[in-house]
Amino acid sequence: MEQGLRTYLVVTGAYWGFTLTDGAIHMLVVLHFHNLGFSPLEIAFLFLFYEVFGIITNGVGGWIASHIGLNRTMITGGFLQVVALGSLAVDPAWLSVAYVMTAMALSGIAKDLNKMSAKSSVKLVVPKGENADTQLFKWVAILTGSKNTLKGAGFFLGGLLLYLIGFRWAMGGMASVLLLVYLYAWWALPMGMGMAKKKAKFSQIFSKTREINILSGARYFLFGSRDVWFVVGLPVFLASVTGWNHIEVGGFLALWVVVYGFVQAGAPALLRKGHQGRGPQGTSARNWALLLAVFPAVIAIALMSGLDPALSLIIGLFAFGAVFAINSAVHSYLILAYSDHDKVAMNVGFYYMANAAGRLTGTVLSGWVYQTQGLAGCLWWSTGFVLAAALISFALPKVPEAAAPIKASEE
């Protein structure tokens, strides 16, 4: 098997294993602490350090990877997730708010080390050739789409494990399996992958490239628009207003993310005709964001009009998820296409720092807005965030013709 493809498969497999636990830990924490009587805002604050440390990790993670290699940052992230899961598999009396926030901080660091490392690696392993940009879009979309499908499966897994074996055993079991996955990845990944030829200074973690900065701003609002209703508002609404049980809530969120992942993985085929064999351009991000803004507004109007809430959410959120998936796939391609090969890890790190900042804002707002304005309020905030992403995307330039990846062996 070609070395580049083999490395891509190892990275993708390890990322899949991590993503299952990332989805499950979110569902377990939300539902478990909702059962204990925590308010929506209190539940949101359990994820505060997860997002804050995600911002910090993305900021410095690319710089660290450029010095020690993407393989090491990815493996470190996997082992940190094992520690985070294991730390929650303790006597329930230990699970104070501060303790859970600290464990989630470790999980946030782990998640963003893995995401930055996996996405950056794709740029390095895609074979050079005439259709390199199309292949890059395809491989990134498959990695990201499959990751989101597995995260959806993780939501269902979390709800199922909480129902069957409880919070403590669920965390311990996932920690044990993930440890085996990352021990194999440690053995299988090539050393020094993604190390820069010229070591970057720490001050260079902030991008000086206009298109990277613009795309990062759009990314901030795009992911804030999702998490402002998805993280706390939606699962609490489904559990408290519609009366769904843990498996039903987890199953719905799982199915939503699975469909989202399938659409994202298929984005290259869906968009191929409009791009004449090339990857998306800056205008693609603008146009798809404008379309996306329609859906949360329509769902909010449906809820405020007294229509059946479960039916409105099921139809509306699946439509939102499909269009959101294409938006995310376009962004994931553009960040790599705009990046120089020697700076890809640092650019991706900066970009995901903006992503994590958007998630942090959305997470905190999800608890506060739901508590004060209900789910319809969360959806109106989502509409505003999407429109902000679209407005920023008007400034995105075309992808340079020469933006083509190189083999890992040539890096």
- At 331, list the tokens: 């962004």
The whole-model pTM stands at 0.68
pLDDT of residue 207 exceeding 70, the answer is no
Q: Mean pLDDT over all residues of the chain?
A: 80
Nearest to 316 by CA among 374, 219, 229, 220: 229
Domain boundaries defined on the chain? 3-400
For the stretch 148-182, pLDDT in tens is 677 778 888 888 888 888 888 999 999 999 999 88
pLDDT of residue 402 exceeding 50, the answer is no
Residue 279 per-residue DSSP state? -
For the stretch 258-307, pLDDT in tens is 787 778 777 766 766 555 556 678 888 899 999 999 999 999 999 999 89
Alpha-carbon Rg for the chain in angstroms:
20
- At 256, list the tokens: 């939503």
pLDDT category, 66, cuts 50, 70, 90? low
Residue 202 per-residue DSSP state? G
292 or 43, greater pLDDT: 292
**What is the pLDDT at residue 409?**
29
- For residue 49, give Cα distances in angstroms to 40, 71, 155, 368: 16, 25, 20, 16
pLDDT of residue 5 exceeding 70, the answer is no
For the stretch 357-374, pLDDT in tens is 898 899 889 888 998 999
Average pLDDT in the 187-201 region? 61
Rounded distance, CA 209 to CA 186, Å? 33
Q: Which CATH number fits domain 3-400: 3.90.980.10, 1.20.1250.20, 1.10.1740.10, 3.40.50.300?
A: 1.20.1250.20
